[in-house]
Amino acid sequence: MPLAVGHKLGHYEILALLGAGAMGEVYKARDNRMDRIVAVKILKDGHGARLQQEVRAIAALNHPHICVLHDVGPDYLVMEYIEGEPAVSDKAPGPLPLEDSLRIATQIADALEAAHKCGILHRDVKPANILVTPKGAKLLDFGLAKITNGTAGDATQTCEGTLLGTAAYMSPEQAQGRSLDERSDIFSFGCVVYEMLSGRRAFGGGSMAEVLSAVMRDEPPPFASPLAPVVAKCLAKAPGQRFQTMTEVRVALEAISAKPADSRPSVAVLPFANMRSDSEQEYFSDGLTEEIINLLARIPGLKVIARTSAFAFKGKEVDIRAIAAALGVSTVLEGSVRRSGNRVRIIAQLISAEDGAHLFSERYDREMSDVFAMQDEIAAAISSALQTKLSVESPNHRHYTPGLPAYEALLRARHSASLATPASIAKAREYLELAIALDPDYALPHAELGFLFNVFAVMGVMPAREAVPLGRASARKALQVDPSLPEALSMLGYHAAFFDYDWKEAARLFDLAMAHGSISPTASSRYARYLAVVGRVPEALEVHRRALSEDPLNPYLRVNLVVGLRAAGRAAESVDEIHRILEHDENFGLAWNLLALSLLYFGKHAEALSAAERGLALMPWHAPSRGMLAGLLALTGDQDRAAKILERLGDEKAYADFAGFMLHSLIVGKLDQAADWAAHAIGQRWPVIVDFLCLDLAAAELRRSPRWPELAAMMNLPWDR
């Protein structure tokens, strides 16, 4: 039975019933001794004795966003009385404005951080336990709290096998009655922030069993918000994939608070569907999509998602809102292409991600000779549709209209290159050379051939001393045809930096390239790599992030960001970025290699070995992967297998071997041997060696060794920069 008004609990006088729950009832009361209004929670039978020790410790917490615990009785808690509303309730359902959600989330993260530092887990973080007042948010009700030693790895065992908390906000491990640490509170916190931003619970169901099943197995529907990546990481099913501390969560939230919102209109162009059963025509529908992306990218003030990220959804049944949320855009263009003989039909629709409304829809049925005019019309129509709502200027006029056969050869080259196999890349080279032969004044094939030669050098398909001069000649030819191509200028800057080690000339060329109003994320990322090597790491990170905002699912751009973060001494953040790559593509071999090096840095040798095994399985031709695995095998005691892998390295061409042998030497601590291989790599002008030696964690010991001044001088860099 609820207590009557006027009932006395010691010197506390009951004034009103505020609410009731599984643990007991909460009353508004007067503290006659201190002459103040308080909240009194009467615990049901069986709860008081078990929790008394924990709540006495919690009473020592003193934080502006934690409800103060004043006193503990034999079966009741006395808390600060707060006039406020829950963060989300029936009276004030979400979604809340971003600014409000961010403020509340940051304050509660700060509160939980303070509790965790005192070794206290909350275990019942939910909207009802967060009251919003004019002075800020308050975290309430530590009735289920548990004391630990205050470290993420020190899990409480007292609730093993016991289900405590509120189902929709439990972590998977809490729902299974397993031991908990502060990462469980991080998951529950993510559920709350998700609900504030999306207006719905992350995990629902018609019964507790259904809700708990969703918590353990389902991913919540995506939503569009700058906070979405933070929430997603909080809600990772495996504790090891979440933020590891509330400090990390708070820092991530504060970084978003400090970043000005991107108010630009934005669009992602999804791959146009090929409406013919003939897969041979796939190159044409893909190529037409990419051309429209390139045209839109020249519109001032419009954020356009690059090809790599837009094409990540090709062939997948994904809701438009989910795609928009993943890519951070407000509109999505989708369409279809049907080519029959000399005629082509294109249907294009521009869709608002917010409400699914069609902002633009049109069908084009023309001769193939009109394909360029159709592309221009589609870009202009999109610009017009967005201009009505978002004030965007019209697109620039096309710089050059190539002959149709050369254009088709370029589209076939791009399609082949996107398959990313040695055979397909070789085929792409043939198509680009055909396009150049058909139309020598067409600048794009020259520029893209220059980039392709650089890929040959990086992958070890061709020695850099052969590939880079060919790539440079192609880039220069592109500039002769069209002096305004920033891609060609960027490539020449890259060659000056990472092949010639001419940092002054690289600066000049990159400055020219970046002066253009429209530059691709890939070119921007090249520039960021240059900035990091010459010691301008904070600028490099900013350029990397801008590039990723326009191509967020491009794994190679994120690899470059990982290297930049390592150079900035932010190793833990770099691991987060590696996991982001693997979340989208678990078969991206370079990410496993980066993860292996990170785990090695943190002393987790067995886990590093497992990651390196995965990397080599995905890229069996990759010499650095072999060297890394051999080094980790030797480090963990398997000398015989390490020796066999090193023998297989000897089967490769000499110019590809050095990277593998260098990594092996670094991992096993043979610095002089590693320096010899590094010197060989520098002499061979392998384009990746400069970044690795100057920035990567794996080369840190080498940079501190007596051999470093010699290596730095070979790259024309100051040894102590």
pLDDT tens digit string along 158-213? Answer: 333 344 557 889 999 998 888 889 999 999 999 999 999 888 899 988 888 889 99
185 a catalytic residue: no
* Residue pLDDT, tens place only, 252-299: 888 777 655 566 788 999 999 888 766 677 888 888 888 888 888 877
Domain stop point among 232, 258, 284: 258
pTM of structure: 0.63
Listed residue (403, 460, 455) closest to 429, CA to CA: 455
So what's the pLDDT on residue 93?
57
- Please state the domain count of the chain: 5
Domain stop point among 81, 106, 122: 81
Q: Which of 124, 286, 576, 696 is catalytic?
A: 124
Query: CA–CA separation, 629 vs 627, rounded Å?
Result: 6
Residues 271 and 342 in one domain: yes
Residues 394 and 271 in one domain: yes
CATH number of the domain that residue 302 is part of = 3.40.50.10070
Domain stop point among 352, 368, 398: 398
Residues 175 and 205 in one domain: yes
pLDDT tops 90 at residue 646: no
Please work out, in degrees rounded to the nearest 5, the angle formed at the alpha carbon of residue 278 by the alpha carbons of 374 and 451. Answer: 65
Lowest mean pLDDT among 97-101, 132-136, 270-274, 275-279: 275-279
**In a domain? residue 533:** no
Residues 599 and 721 in one domain: yes
Residue burial 435-454, b: 16+ Cβ < 10 Å; e: rest: bbebbeebbbbbbbbbbbbb
**In a domain? residue 575:** no
**In a domain? residue 525:** no
Query: CA–CA separation, 621 vs 508, rounded Å?
Result: 36
* Residue pLDDT, tens place only, 408-466: 899 899 888 887 777 888 899 999 999 999 999 998 899 999 889 988 887 767 888 88
Residues 118 and 17 in one domain: no
CATH number of the domain that residue 604 is part of = 1.25.40
Sequence-separated (6 or more) residues with CB below 8 Å from residue 644: none
So what's the pLDDT on residue 160?
35
**In a domain? residue 546:** no
Residues 245 and 108 in one domain: yes
Residues 38 and 183 in one domain: no
Once rounded to an integer, what is the mean pLDDT over residues 92-120? Answer: 84
So what's the pLDDT on residue 97?
78
* Residue pLDDT, tens place only, 36-91: 999 888 877 655 555 565 566 566 677 888 888 788 777 788 888 888 888 887 66
**In a domain? residue 341:** yes
Q: Cβ of 706: how many Cβ atoms within 10 Å?
A: 9
Residues 162 and 29 in one domain: no
Q: Cβ of 306: how many Cβ atoms within 10 Å?
A: 25
pLDDT tops 60 at residue 150: no
DSSP conformation class of 72: E
Please give the residue range of the domain that contains residue 698: 587-721
**In a domain? residue 543:** no
- Which two structure tokens, joined as six digits, stand for 233? 């990481």
From residue 209, alpha-carbon distances to 180, 185, 331, 639, 672 in Å are 20, 21, 37, 51, 61
Residues 254 and 204 in one domain: yes
Torsion of CA 284, 289, 290, 292, to 10 degrees: 120
* CA dihedral over 231, 236, 241, 244, signed as positive or negative: positive
Residues 241 and 303 in one domain: no
So what's the pLDDT on residue 169?
92
Query: CA–CA separation, 322 vs 553, rounded Å?
Result: 14
So what's the pLDDT on residue 153?
40
Percent of the chain with pLDDT over 70: 88
CATH number of the domain that residue 59 is part of = 3.30.200.20
So what's the pLDDT on residue 277?
67
Residues 158 and 31 in one domain: no
Sequence-separated (6 or more) residues with CB below 8 Å from residue 207: none
313 or 24, greater pLDDT: 313
Once rounded to an integer, what is the mean pLDDT over residues 312-321? Answer: 83
**In a domain? residue 220:** yes
So what's the pLDDT on residue 285?
86
Q: Average per-residue pLDDT in the chain? A: 84
- Which two structure tokens, joined as six digits, stand for 123? 């275990």
Once rounded to an integer, what is the mean pLDDT over residues 20-45? Answer: 84
pLDDT tops 90 at residue 140: no
**In a domain? residue 566:** no
Residues 601 and 701 in one domain: yes
